[in-house]
Amino acid sequence: MRILQIIPSISLVYGGPSQMVLGLSAALASQGVDVTIITTDSNGDIGQPPLEVPLNLPIKQDGYHIIYFRCSPVRRYKFSLDLLRWLHQNAGQFDLAHIHALFSPVTTLATTIARYRKLPYIIRPCGMLDPADLQKKKYLKQVYAALLERPNLAGAAAIHFTSKREAEVSERFGLEVETSIRQGFKPLPHSESPLKKTEEIKELISPLNKTFTIKGGINYLSNFWTSKISMPRDLVIPLGVTLNVDRSFISRVNTTDKTRTEVLTANLGEAGIPAILFMSRIDPKKGVDLLITALESILLNNIHFNFILAGSNAQDAQYETKIKLKIQNSILAQCTTITGFASGDLKVELLAKADLFVLPSYYENFGIAVAEAMAAGTPVVISDRVYISEEIQQAEAGWVGPLEVGAMAGLIRSALLDPDERKRRGINAKNYAQKHYNWREIGQRTIEAYQQILFDN
């Protein structure tokens, strides 16, 4: 089975979901799938230099191949004519395309090419069908969707959502589900991938064994559409994490910045004072402004902690500066360490030493940073607008509450004052992540979905 992964960029500038393609491709390759990623050398949209990578030739890593193409003629929108030409010429070499992103010119046109070349494809919208996200540049997206993304979605073999709630709330642009799928599943000839029993397959792909109609999502554009088109099936498979933190042994941070390391160690080394970690993109949707206010109220009640703000926003440096200034002018300044963007050993160090991970997002289709914290055995405090919050509540892997300053402050306060409960929920978090967010399991589920789609086609 030859699979083509298409994504505008895999630069860390664009956050964890972009990097997810690498983990998925490695997991697929380890189970015998021939995987190629095509992407651009984009490394930011506000003048950053491109990635320093070889162009227009396959690079082998972790069992799969990746091909980078120059952003040209418009770098601002991660557009690449070379990528589109290559796809048009080589689409026939692949069995299926897995396309990551909507409202991005390069993936929009790549999807159109896949339709033209009759290459079956899956679209992962990366949260871009969330009604809250669609409010950004709302009227432009209405036109863009009507002309381009609606037919692309209608032509997809499946839409890959990373959580059940993402699938439930996502806008469908007036499309309706009217499809019938066999209850059983017959693997493709010569398939070497193990298949799960039918009941597990039934949970993987919906709708199953019947024909019915769903008017999807919030449908904030319901009056905009005049015709109905059949909608592809929903495919719900979470993202995976590769992090493996041994909390009983913490290595030194691998960085040449000694001052930064010393400050970090000092802040996290005070016995009896718990460390709260926010590690995500510093963006308005992440709720960091609300978190600052909540933490200030906890400090005023003489509950002590260290706060670690780990993240950056190369796409909106002005907002990042605003948040840093807010902390510097706050009573939080005395107990806060701002590390900037964290990756590699520093990221592992922070997750290993954190007693609590907090993400009060306004909306989050999955929350890869939350999954990474759970994999490290760190209990989480999140808003109920993080779409894996229901699973976290059921697993007792952390605390979940409404997106309000008082509610978030109350949950964090409760967690800080009960170390035994933090430990218990941290163990639950790690167990849940190992079972549900490990790449091998996700790779296997994805292979089964690919095989089902190819069999149906």
* pLDDT value at 229 more than 60: no
378-127-150 Cα angle (round to 5):
165
Q: Residues near 64 by Cβ (< 8 Å), separated by ≥ 6? A: 25, 26, 28, 29, 35, 36, 37
- The mean predicted confidence, pLDDT, of the chain is 85
Tell how strand 275-279 and strand 356-359 pair up: parallel
- Residue 263: CB partners within 8 Å, gap ≥ 6? 337
What does the pLDDT average to over 134-146? Answer: 92
Binning pLDDT at 50, 70 and 90, where does residue 386 land?
Answer: very high
Name the band, by pLDDT with cuts 50, 70 and 90, for residue 343.
Answer: confident
Higher local confidence (pLDDT), 319 or 242:
319
User: Per-residue pLDDT for 356 more than 60?
Assistant: yes
251-255, 313-317, 347-351, 397-401: the lowest-pLDDT one: 251-255
| 46 pLDDT above the threshold of 50 | yes
Residue 344 confidence (pLDDT): 85
Rounded Cα distance, 420 and 423, in Å: 5
pLDDT for the residue numbered 16:
75
* Residue 281 vs residue 249, higher pLDDT: 281
Nearby residues of 18 by Cβ (< 8 Å), 6 or more positions away: 7, 8, 9, 10, 11, 12, 100
Domains annotated on the chain, with CATH = 2-240+438-456 (3.40.50.2000), 258-436 (3.40.50.2000)
- Determine the average pLDDT of the residues in 419-442: 97
88, pLDDT greater than 80: yes
Find, among 147, 148, 154, the residue nearest to 172 by Cα: 154
Residue 255 has what pLDDT? 42
